[in-house]
Amino acid sequence: MDKNTITGFILIAAVIIGFTLLSRPSAEDIERQKQQRIKDSIEYAQTLQRERENIIDTIAGKKENKADDFFAAPVQESDSTLSTIDSLQQANRQPEQFITLENSKVKAVFSTKGGKMVSVQLKEYMSYNKEDKKNTDSLYIFNNDADFALLLTNKQQKVLSTSDLIFTPVQTEDDNSLIMRYSYSGTQHIDFVYKLADDDYMMKYDINLVGLQPMLARDRSDIFELSWSQRMRRQEKSVKNEQRYSHLCYKYVGGDVKEMSADKSEQVEVKEPAKWIAFKNQFFAPILIADDKIETALLDSRVLQTDESSEYLKSFEATIYAPAKIGATDETLNAGFTYYLGPMSFSLLKKYDSHIDDANKQLDLDKLVPLGWTLFRWINQYFVIPIFNFLRGTGLSMGIVILLLTIIVKLIISPLTYKSFMSSAKMRVLRPQVEELNAKYPKQEQAMEKQQATMALYSKAGVNPMSGCIPLLLQMPILIALFSFFPNAIELRQQSFLWASDLSTYDAIIEWKNHIPLIGTHISLFCILMTATNIIYTKFNMEMTNTGQQQMPGMKWMMYLMPLIFLFMLNDYPSGLTYYYFLSLLITILLTMAFRFMIDEKKVLAKLEANKAKPKKKSGFMARLAEAQKIQQQQLNERNKSNSTKRKR
């Protein structure tokens, strides 16, 4: 195998191995996560215990009513006040009711307890374990595992959470809207207004406080404090892969999208105004978007202890401070938001900015889909995704779409592949002459002279040994871009092909219970096929690119080891990705065989021999290389001469 191919393989391996090592948590992080998981488990158990005690106290009548305490504090207990408190107590004893809003895509259920959403179901998507008879096949973004509350502080610094209140549904003219109202009196109330868009994943959410401003603390009368928390449900088959792409994310107003750590617990204080906050899984997310801005926020992301049977992956919490605007009257306060409750589809999320001309006002929801760093994201956004969407629009199965995408990509980069092959072919036809030089300089101390003679041969023939490496480097951005595209393409989710029931996750051919280091609890068939094809390609390529130059000891076995490294690295990745790599390697072998058939090596050699007769001016690189070799040879000769003199003495 020539140096170009070796260099290319080493660079590819270095990028992937380096990426893996950099993203792998350290021993300290692992221990810290372990301790955090223990702490989380203890806190969770304590929370459950407190909830049990609260329920018991409430039933026994021991626990004070927080609403009574909050509203009664600023006024004298007149008969009218006592009457109002009695009505509040009676309202809080009302049974919990549930109201549903739905369209063709979303079904949202609201509870009168807290006036909040308690579950969101996506009608067009199913659970990852849809074949489990115990499962209802419904995919819920959340289902009684999220909480959202408005926190109010009165002038005596007593805090009221709307989670403790029983709201009353108010009838509206629109069937797809709902007002949840908590009334303190006939002219004082809290309204949560929800309006679900038709045939969309967007839901408008407005907060209106009427007549309550005089009760609020002066420093809290112009800002709303919101508490939002959610335990992130497991939505996909691969726990490890979904953990990798689940983040708590936020976007600055007119600025960048930021994401918190995926592999360790983290707390962040967002000090600058933000536009939205997202609790993101791999393929789905609830996103709270402010009409104006979120002034500040405290964010908490916790990684939960998981295994293959885990129901939850992470726990996200956000304490949000949003400006409250004065309404039609001085005693009315309101703030507007929009929920996005749907899939992480790049094309869909991109459409929400299609009508916004000002780049600083765009939502940038599409940046929640991780498509790689800037260069790789551009390749995916402007090259891969348009081709993928076009092919998907034909109605073909997703396996055929990936096949056609692979063929198109390989055809586009085939000129680079051809140039790399031609470089190898030129060096290969010069192999007999290189072997003659090897015989002429057989000794180890003649290695430098042999190298100089070989480079002189290439220079006279007009062959640049580095010209085959550059095409390989130019292909790498596409290779890395696709490495980011396939794991985040929701279009592959639950799309079957051949034996793979879901191209967005691994296609296990063998599974076992106990975790084995490096390989996990399964072996993926497409990953095995990719590895086998890679080994065949390596052997084939080593034979095709043998230029007669001596290789470093162990390099041959290292080249065969690389496919096995990829097996361990990609075994848990989506079968769509390993299927693509399998096809790509197979097509590369076919292209190489076609180039070999098309190119007449005798004509190539004749052209190189003709080049030797032409006067050659060394390129800047070749001239510097020759000069460096000359200096190195002089130093080596002087060292050998000095050593010889010492031995004679």
Residue 499's pLDDT is 94
Q: How confident is the model at residue 367 (pLDDT cuts 50, 70, 90)?
A: very high
Residue 214's pLDDT is 84
Residues in Cβ contact with 648 at an 8 Å cutoff, skipping those fewer than 6 apart = none
User: How many CA atoms, within 13 angstroms, populate the side-chain half-sphere of residue 589?
Assistant: 17
Q: How confident is the model at residue 56 (pLDDT cuts 50, 70, 90)?
A: very low
pLDDT at 240 over 50: yes
Q: How confident is the model at residue 59 (pLDDT cuts 50, 70, 90)?
A: very low
Taking the mean position of all CA atoms in its chain, how far away is CA 122? 21
Q: What's the mean per-residue pLDDT of the chain?
A: 81
For residue 494, the surrounding DSSP H or E stretch is none
Closest among 351, 372, 374 to 362, alpha carbons compared: 351
User: With contact defined as beta carbons under 8 Å apart, do 206 and 292 qualify?
Assistant: no
pLDDT at 308 over 90: no
User: With contact defined as beta carbons under 8 Å apart, do 362 and 255 qualify?
Assistant: no
Residue type at position 646:
K
Spatial distance between the Cα atoms of 104 and 15, rounded to a whole number of angstroms: 44
Q: How confident is the model at residue 44 (pLDDT cuts 50, 70, 90)?
A: very low
User: With contact defined as beta carbons under 8 Å apart, do 507 and 573 qualify?
Assistant: no
What are the C-alpha distances in Å from 605 to residues 400, 592, 598? Answer: 41, 19, 15
Residues in Cβ contact with 473 at an 8 Å cutoff, skipping those fewer than 6 apart = 8, 11
Q: How confident is the model at residue 395 (pLDDT cuts 50, 70, 90)?
A: very high
Q: For the chain, what's the residue count?
A: 649
- Segment 586-611 mean pLDDT: 83
Q: Which CATH architecture fits 64-369?
A: Distorted Sandwich (2.70)
Residue 280: beta bridge partners? 247
pTM, two decimal places: 0.79
Q: How confident is the model at residue 274 (pLDDT cuts 50, 70, 90)?
A: very high
pLDDT at 61 over 50: no
Residue 77's pLDDT is 41
For residue 239, the surrounding DSSP H or E stretch is helix 239-244
pLDDT at 184 over 60: yes
Residue 331's pLDDT is 76
User: How many CA atoms, within 13 angstroms, populate the side-chain half-sphere of residue 153?
Assistant: 12
Q: Where are the domains of the chain?
A: 64-369, 377-613
Q: Round the CA-based radius of gyration of the chain to a whole number and report it.
A: 33
Q: What are the tens digits of pLDDT across the range 150-164?
A: 999 988 888 899 998
Residue 559's pLDDT is 77
